[in-house]
Amino acid sequence: MGSDPIGMPAEVLAELRAHARAEAPRECCGLLLGTVGSIARSERARNIAPEATRYLVHPEDHFRAVRVARAEGLDVIGAYHSHPASEPVPSPTDIAEANSGPEFVYVIVSLLNDEVRAYRFEGGRPEPLALSSSL
């Protein structure tokens, strides 16, 4: 765990960047659907956090993503959000609020440099994951 790259189609990567640009200067957020080791698609969610520099997935959108995943034979394997003005590195808030299992993937999209990074949290610490994108 931790060193194996996670697959993400180029069109999903493009969608994450487009969502981040559309919501700026607020953080965007959404869920990632797929199987262990492979992201198949993303589901946008409404960010209901009152602060522009935090995210909180709307519960209705979370339930919708779970239903969509089940209907497509997938699982909700992760979440994504944007950092409109900072590097794609987990903030202290991101670290404090990460509460999913060790297989859950967190993806951060930075509008500062258009970079996208993935992480898993092990023992409360972010562990970088390599992203493997196919065209």
- Catalytic positions are 27
Distance CA 50, CA 42 (A): 23
Strand-strand pairing, 75-83 and 38-45: unpaired
Cα torsion 61, 13, 78, 38 to 10°: value is 130
Cα distance between the two ends of the chain: 25
Q: Tell me the two tokens of residue 6.
A: 């996670």
